[in-house]
Amino acid sequence: MRPGKKRRESAAAPKREQTRRPEGRRETKPSSDAVAGRNPVVEALRAKVPAKELLVAERAEIDERMQEAMRLAKNQNLLIKEVSRGVLDGLTGTTMHQGIALVIKPFQYANFEELLKKSKKPGLLIGLDGVTDPHNLGAIVRSAAAFGADGVVIPERRTAAMTGSAWKSSAGAAARLPISQVTNLVRSLEDAKKAGFFVVGLDAEGDESLPKFSLSRVCLCHRR
């Protein structure tokens, strides 16, 4: 009986191993900030998102998009490395990377105190809270630059950071507009008030539209 039992256990072992293999293909938390996928990588390289290196999977199919990505990376003097698909899985947090990923450089945030000093008079700073989608953050940065803002201020927690996706959505504005990441947004707003800024809150359900808003009227009412 025991020899037969051993044979049944050994015969069943490969089946249990086969059922575990797909579990290793689940999406996980990415180990680095990276743009994955052939079209997104090409678009990021076209937008000149600051990057460290381009990673290509071993034996990946080289189509026109892949060729363009490698050409753009070479023109920007980026390191191009061939890695296993497992490395790309861990780096991007997904198996849907299409065999290519662009590793993004950490964003260089501006010092808030320096941002206050360098702002024009009168200055315009955009403070954000609760914006968790990096694409929305990038779009706001793009709009802030178009309105002539001196900078954007975001908190360190509960808000999207300037990732590769946010940089790409900013359409290059993140390279021109200072963005500061602060520990406490409320305290930073108080510091801005001490530096001569007026703090105006925006609410989608507010009773006054922004085009009709007059800061001079607010100042006169405050003086009274």
Q: Per-residue pLDDT tens for 21-74?
A: 333 344 555 555 888 889 889 988 988 888 999 999 998 889 999 999 999 999
How many C-beta neighbours within 10 Å does residue 187 have? 11
Q: What is the mean pLDDT of the chain?
A: 82
Whether 96 and 124 share a structural domain: no
* Cα(155)–Cα(49) distance, integer angstroms: 22
- Boundary of a domain, candidates 86, 104, 122: 104
Whether 100 and 127 share a structural domain: no
pLDDT of amino acid 16: 40
Q: How many domains does the chain have?
A: 2
Whether 80 and 59 share a structural domain: yes
- Boundary of a domain, candidates 40, 69, 104: 104
User: Does residue 189 lie within any of the structural domains?
Assistant: yes
Give residue 221's pLDDT band: very low, low, confident or very high (50, 70, 90): very low
Give residue 81's pLDDT band: very low, low, confident or very high (50, 70, 90): very high
User: Does residue 159 lie within any of the structural domains?
Assistant: yes
Whether 72 and 56 share a structural domain: yes
pLDDT of amino acid 187: 95
115: part of which helix (H) or strand (E)? helix 112-118
pLDDT of amino acid 115: 94
Say whether pLDDT at 131 is over 90.
Answer: yes
Whether 147 and 90 share a structural domain: no
User: Does residue 22 lie within any of the structural domains?
Assistant: no
Best CA proximity match to 98, nearest among 110, 88, 108, 107: 88
User: Does residue 219 lie within any of the structural domains?
Assistant: no
pLDDT in tens, 167-206: 888 878 888 899 999 999 999 999 999 998 888 888 777 7
Whether 92 and 161 share a structural domain: no
User: Does residue 139 lie within any of the structural domains?
Assistant: yes
CATH code: domain of residue 128: 3.40.1280.10
Whether 123 and 93 share a structural domain: no
pLDDT of amino acid 11: 45
Whether 124 and 155 share a structural domain: yes
CATH code: domain of residue 93: 3.30.1330.30
Whether 82 and 120 share a structural domain: no
Whether 93 and 146 share a structural domain: no
Q: What is the extent of the structural domain holding 81?
A: 27-104
Contacts of 87 (CB under 8 A, 6+ apart): 55
* Cα(43)–Cα(47) distance, integer angstroms: 6
What is the value of pTM for the model shown? 0.68
User: Does residue 13 lie within any of the structural domains?
Assistant: no
